[in-house]
Amino acid sequence: MPLYWRVFVTNAAAMLLAFAALVFAPVTVSAPIGFGELTVLAIGLLGVLLLNLLLLRPVFRPFDELAEAMRRHDPLAPGERVPVDGERDVAALAQAFNEMLDRMESERRESGRQALRVLEGERSRIARELHDELGQTLTGAMLQVEGLAARIPDNLRDELDELRETARSGTEDVRRIARQLRPEALEDLGLQSALAALATAFGEQAQVRVERRLEPSLPLSKDEELVVYRVAQEALTNVARHAQATRVALRLHQNRAVTELTVRDDGRGLSSGALPSAHGIRGMRERAMLIGAQLQINSKPGRGTEIKLSIPLNNPEAPCRSH
């Protein structure tokens, strides 16, 4: 029965019971009304209202449960839907809400992919300009310093060495930033080689031991490989900045119908309240959403952090895969 008629029938039943009570009960109303009669009518009205409340509560309870399920929905967790069951009106509303989520996720995923392509293109452009312009300028400055070494007085030798070290350090910083902006190894050598280079550079820079297990020849699309690389990069960056870890495990493998990237450290961990608000974690979740993947973060204070990215092999959001 539609909700409209169910509410009508419920109210009609309450009114009929009240009418029957007035007709058959030994109650009379005089004019002006007496205190005892007013008391009886007030009790009758309260009984009708209570009966109406008891009859209507089961009708609207499924809507409260559906509203609570809607409030719990996480926009960064694609694929989660409210259950379509119960009364016909509730099921129709739940189905409409799920269809709305399908459209929103599809549109957000497509716009996110376009934004990601623009972002990566801009990263590549900046990396090229850093390497070609600023890198060449610093290299030229180093050559000029070397040319001055033979003619400079001995009393300025220390200043010259300091200038040479500054130029060399600046050149290395420019190259490092350019590599972070544009992972050339990912384009030229593939995902496994790029992750291996990333782990090596991270270990040397952060003075952290990195254990890596990278399974080759995984069926991933170009977009998926880029997301895997960026999630690993962000996870390792978080370890270097916040974890105070001594060991990191980096693993990429296929687990049945899922390709998994796992980054685990033995650092100080994160509190549960810090997980949703961390900017880097939100960025990883948004990237995972773009390819229909799931990002799980397990962390406890003093027990390290584990970040796991799971990409289903039958992922409809990545139809073109490499083999």
CATH number of the domain bearing residue 293: 3.30.565.10
- Give the pLDDT confidence of 2-48 residue by residue, as tens digits: 665 667 777 777 777 776 766 666 656 566 766 776 776 677 777 77
Q: How many domains does the chain contain in total?
A: 2
Instruction: Identify the H or E element spanning 223.
Output: helix 222-238
Same domain, 96 and 195: no
Same domain, 99 and 209: no
Residue 158, in any domain of the structure: no
φ, ψ of residue 210 to 5 degrees: the values are: -115, 120
Predicted confidence (pLDDT) at residue 115 exceeds the cutoff of 90: no
Residue 86, in any domain of the structure: yes
Same domain, 210 and 303: yes
Range of the domain at 247: 191-323
Residue 154, in any domain of the structure: no
Residue 115, in any domain of the structure: no
pLDDT at 177: 81
Predicted confidence (pLDDT) at residue 306 exceeds the cutoff of 90: yes
Residue 165, in any domain of the structure: no
Report the predicted TM-score, pTM, of the whole model to 2 decimal places.
0.61
Can you tell me the distance from the alpha carbon of 46 to that of 21, in angstroms, rounded to the nearest whole number?
A: 13
Distances (CA, A) of 90 to 10, 56, 74: 18, 15, 21
Residue 292, in any domain of the structure: yes
- Give the pLDDT confidence of 181-197 residue by residue, as tens digits: 777 778 778 899 999 99
Domain boundary among 75, 107, 139: 107
Residue 127, in any domain of the structure: no
| CA angle (255, 215, 115) in 5-degree steps | 80
pLDDT at 319: 45
Domain boundary among 66, 87, 107: 107
- Cβ–Cβ < 8 Å for 94, 66: yes
Distances (CA, A) of 91 to 63, 85, 95, 243: 10, 5, 6, 46
The proportion of the chain whose per-residue pLDDT surpasses 70, expressed as a percent, equals 83
Predicted confidence (pLDDT) at residue 123 exceeds the cutoff of 80: no
Domain boundary among 80, 107, 134: 107
Residue 166, in any domain of the structure: no
